[in-house]
Structure 1
């Protein structure tokens, strides 16, 4: 995996929060921001991979990332975690809402509890993370919120009804927040990844045939990995996108 070579000097020293940053796409985002010289914190519930990520980056970037453990489906825990991040970093101007749960379940097997859990992890926490962070972003003079959605809701995927509902909702949330926060110089955009081949995806869901079928559908004839999301996210977080808000950026190799 190759990280983007582009440099964004305005990100150096800025306070960045990434949710779900302990593994997969989130871990690549944490490393990508850290490589820019940013002060990066991330929230995750999985302790072992998160601590391993911090150890792997300590001494290799200007600032070692800060790991804060929290269950993002718990609103009070989310609020406390964001406060801890802001106090520890001393400033907060970028929030990347990356955390999610792409579990598969057939329609007839979905219970009310399962639906509520999926919405809490995939949609509800994004709002309350942003809500808790907004006062700090305002105090920093403005900034950027990047919400991770997915192209899955555009593909009529039948085995993820709760997940795809949440991912569609993230686009609505993004546009609503952008409209409200724009006058305060806070931009809000969404990134919609396509099939990103991570170790977790390969372990749980992806097959060689499935990967090949998606590559065949894509204009770019290669599999996408987590570092393919770093460049777009850095751009949307930086001043290079200072006039861009309320937008959705699809990163899928041309599958749609």
Structure 2
């Protein structure tokens, strides 16, 4: 399958959260192929350094910072380090999340707060960290990752779906506040994406069959399709796209 090249992404500085594996890894690689300067963070230091080394051998300008996104001062410091190496970002991809399953009956206040930290809070502070540089540049694209799970009224992970629903409100508010600076803010909405983590933990032949029956396009959603939507939203081709949801869920809602 052939994909588009976006000249406006060449030499663009892009920051990605959760870039060492899964969808985030595909996004980091995709920007590298476009000639962007890519900085990414991840809690997996070994994996992140391996990805950075791989991309450097391909001539990509890449920087990695290990970071636990639950620690906001650490997040802010990591972004400052990436900026010192690559320059201020004009693209931010808030990808990092964990869709751990949990029953509502067993959720404690501590677990609730930790899940919100993993799936929502860091997006706000990442945006806060990069917005001044985008304002100075007079342009920017912020891409937040939502989920089709709450649209489908999925059960079995209520704190996760609560956090992902909140992403959409945050996106639209930031789009209004930052739009006067030509900064666009959008949400990408994945369906059930066949990452290695999903395959290892939750994909079964029965569940996959049910998912294919629900989708209008009865084919597995691979991470590459999410990365391609992110590239479009980061590029000049989407210059008048903001405050909206961009579905990559094969028609399952």
- TM superposition score normalised by structure 1: 0.96
Q: Report the equivalent of 1:142.
A: 139
**1:227-255, CA deviations, whole angstroms, 9 ceiling, x for partnerless residues?**
11011100000110000100001110111
CA–CA separation in structure 2 for the residues paired with 1:5 and 1:57: 20
1:232 matches 2:229: yes
CA–CA separation in structure 2 for the residues paired with 1:49 and 1:224: 23
Checking the alignment, whether the CA contact within 8 Å between 1:92 and 1:140 is kept in structure 2 is no
- Please tell me the root mean square deviation across aligned C-alpha atoms, in Å: 1.1
Of 107, 118, 122, the match for 1:121: 118
1:183 matches 2:180: yes
Checking the alignment, whether the CA contact within 8 Å between 2:6 and 2:235 is kept in structure 1 is yes
Checking the alignment, whether the CA contact within 8 Å between 2:147 and 2:189 is kept in structure 1 is yes
1:99 matches 2:96: yes
Checking the alignment, whether the CA contact within 8 Å between 2:102 and 2:156 is kept in structure 1 is yes
Aligned residues: 253
Of 61, 65, 68, the match for 1:68: 65
Q: More deviation in 85-94 or 17-26? A: 85-94
Q: Name segments (4+ residues, structure 1) moved above 2 Å.
A: none
CA–CA separation in structure 2 for the residues paired with 1:107 and 1:8: 44
- TM superposition score normalised by structure 2: 0.97
Of 50, 53, 56, the match for 1:52: 50
